[in-house]
Structure 1
């Protein structure tokens, strides 16, 4: 039996409700129960009233236990005596076969021929397990534990798939030991994001202290019960429980309410410290970065669930920060990217690093010049971290290669900084390091190169676009740009070789720079373009040398 004074503070933890007791006693056969459990008390203690086979220890309760928090297990005859002595007492009445059940809203009547002590021990064991669960949740909150830990220790009390998401739909935690019951919850588990409903309904958002029943859509989406999470009366997220078997019992709903109070406190700690609430682990991106391949339809559906247009161009910005060591700074950087109206981005964690996936309608929207301007204008240097930036790409399946480009840019930043110091140029004194700057050093490094990465490096270029337009419009910009580069931007020599006026060369070059948002004053960019041209010349004659037959 629990020792006197060992129970938790009443205002913090809910204890057993009438609904919970009904769930426990249901296997015995309930023949009478209160019509409404809304105003019923909660119970911490159980005692057994009457019966010669009842040990004396089962009758006693701690001296300071409030009478309203004690549930009595008794026979119909003992219940009448109990009600006369204490009209406010609540009891579980064990009714023998063919005996009449008491008609009283202050009791739960069960039809059973089992000994009274059996029912008493059932109730007592449940109260003990409930107490242990509540104390475990209290310990997790007290020690600033994780939301996922709170969900996992609740699997015995709530044997349903659970997830917690912030108000933007990013999943903060989900059940680790239970499989998602349907396609909707599998998508949540895989992508780390709550999909937008096909019928256009907004995500469930109930008033503070209320619950919302979200009806499912057949076998593809099970119904679920959603409890909103509030911080200082501001909506910040939801706790969702999958209900594939229909509306849960009042007792299970009460258990979910107990869990929600702990989750709310844990989330309050996360949001108040600006830690990883805005930096989820997005399972879809994790799998891509680990080398998994997806069917085009599957990949597009995942992008749609993340509200990223499937026709987008992309760029990876890898932030040189350890999220585990500096969670507050990592979250602040992520929130800065997410709140910047000039940047369309998704921020997520991978292997402890903060990854920013920027996306836009066209490649020029994600040009290095545009990225450099954004980082400078909005003072991302104030965070005192380095950024590795990949080349733009237009196939989300290439995310892994773009991530490697950004990682290479960070790894070679000391060499790039040494080159910048020698150049003594006023350009690019920030802490953003672009892959095309590191490319020459990467190429001359004798270390083995990944074949797929090398193909990606030179496949992503705007030169094929220029070639197609030359064929359609009868222009010659592809040759013009190459001639301009090999003549070291001498417009006069270029004009002589192209048999055009010098002003025509300057005009066409300016148009190319504006359209593709490039700066040919940048020697690293010119070097990258020359490599792109040479790779085109090489590949037009056959496969690149590193590609196996």
Structure 2
């Protein structure tokens, strides 16, 4: 209870609404013409408690869609029948091109205003699902086609958003089925856990002064080398959904396959002449084909992390797949 004083010439009662230590809003009762009685204070307490529940519900985004998406992350044993029924009732697409971003708002400039950050995130991505999970905000992107171009646009928007909010974000690989959401979330957590490694690696090699968005691809090599990971399902998912799998699936039918060309180009340290000599191609054709691969699959071979991941994938595929080895002969 406050007032009256010189600044505010009347009595008022106020209550700050919080979720834990996070500010959600506040409610004020102004008493201009009447004395504040214990009964009025009790009524205000009842009202503020109700508002607190509403604020907490709004912050945690307890919509049916958000609850379902959280279940997909938390529970690997949901039956296919339940998944099909719930996704149909909610009108969710289950196949296409998905991507997941984790926004670590608590480390940013607006860490005490999660609801406002969530509303700004939804404004930035109006066609996507935005929901809270644990200590982060998640944005689930989706498109039916043209995912390479859309993914690039989303990254630019996410980077601009994080620059404005002074926070960091972590992004998964693109995946094709909604049931793989839990693996995508695990990838964002991996990117977050190796943030300092990525930052050290990228600064001198890619001339990046400050990064706001960290991709799982940047953390891939560290994930492969770190023996602490124990989830075989996640490992299998990451290795079965690599850029090389996409390239093999979209093979255009050249006499020299894209996957073989890229292999020679990378292991020749991106030197065009020895790659052309090894494959009996003209060096200009090598440059054209490599540029086409980068454009079609949304990769930048000028980035050290991208090259590191591709080389790791090649080594794993060569080690584990006789069919893949045959593509390089």
Instruction: Tell me the TM-score normalised to structure 1 length.
Output: 0.46
* Residues 1:192 and 2:51 are matched in the alignment: no
The 2-side partners of 1:391 and 1:145 are apart by 37
Contiguous gaps of at least 5 residues in structure 2: 1-38, 324-329
- Across the aligned residues of Structure 1 and Structure 2, the Cα RMSD in angstroms comes to 3.4
Query: Relative contact order (C-alpha < 8 Å, sep 6+): which is higher?
Result: 2
Partner of 1:147: 54
Shift of residue 418 of structure 1? 2.1
Partner of 1:354: 137
Shift of residue 484 of structure 1? 1.0
* Contact 1:317/1:357 (8 A) holds in 2: yes
Shift of residue 471 of structure 1? 7.0
Task: From the superposition, tell whether residues 448 and 466 of structure 1 become closer, same or farther in structure 2 (CA, over 3 Å).
Answer: closer
User: What are the equivalent positions in structure 2 for 1:536-547 lying under 5 Å apart?
Assistant: 536-541=317-322
* Residues 1:413 and 2:195 are matched in the alignment: yes
User: What are the equivalent positions in structure 2 for 1:298-337 lying under 5 Å apart?
Assistant: 298-322=82-106, 329-337=113-121
| Residues 491-517 of structure 1: per-residue CA shift (max 9 Å, x gap) | 111111111111111111111111111
* Contact 2:294/2:300 (8 A) holds in 1: yes
Shift of residue 475 of structure 1? 5.6
Partner of 2:74: 290
User: What are the equivalent positions in structure 2 for 1:211-222 lying under 5 Å apart?
Assistant: none
Partner of 1:480: 261
| Residues 100-152 of structure 1: per-residue CA shift (max 9 Å, x gap) | xxxxxxxxxxxxxxxxxxxxxxxxxxxxxxxx9xx988534234421399xxx
Partner of 1:440: 221
Shift of residue 480 of structure 1? 0.8
Shift of residue 388 of structure 1? 1.4
Partner of 1:455: 236
Greater Rg over alpha carbons, structure = 1
One of 278, 281, 286 as aligned partner of 1:500? 281
User: What are the equivalent positions in structure 2 for 1:343-422 lying under 5 Å apart?
Assistant: 344-362=127-145, 363-365=147-149, 367=151, 369-376=152-159, 378-422=160-204
User: What are the equivalent positions in structure 2 for 1:262-301 lying under 5 Å apart?
Assistant: 282-296=66-80, 298-301=82-85
| Number of equivalent positions | 282
* Contact 2:100/2:141 (8 A) holds in 1: yes
User: What are the equivalent positions in structure 2 for 1:165-180 lying under 5 Å apart?
Assistant: none
Partner of 1:75: none
Shift of residue 468 of structure 1? 3.4
Partner of 1:47: none
Task: From the superposition, tell whether residues 146 and 520 of structure 1 become closer, same or farther in structure 2 (CA, over 3 Å).
Answer: same
User: What are the equivalent positions in structure 2 for 1:49-68 lying under 5 Å apart?
Assistant: none
The 1-side partners of 2:254 and 2:281 are apart by 17
Shift of residue 454 of structure 1? 0.9
Partner of 1:340: 124
More helix by share: 2
The 1-side partners of 2:247 and 2:284 are apart by 20
* Contact 2:130/2:138 (8 A) holds in 1: yes
Contiguous gaps of at least 5 residues in structure 1: 1-131, 150-163, 174-190, 194-281, 543-549
Task: From the superposition, tell whether residues 136 and 497 of structure 1 become closer, same or farther in structure 2 (CA, over 3 Å).
Answer: farther
The 2-side partners of 1:333 and 1:352 are apart by 13
Shift of residue 321 of structure 1? 3.0
The 2-side partners of 1:361 and 1:428 are apart by 35
Task: From the superposition, tell whether residues 361 and 539 of structure 1 become closer, same or farther in structure 2 (CA, over 3 Å).
Answer: farther
* Contact 1:344/1:360 (8 A) holds in 2: no
Instruction: Tell me the TM-score normalised to structure 2 length.
Output: 0.73
| Residues 248-304 of structure 1: per-residue CA shift (max 9 Å, x gap) | xxxxxxxxxxxxxxxxxxxxxxxxxxxxxxxxxx22122111133344464345445
The 2-side partners of 1:464 and 1:394 are apart by 13
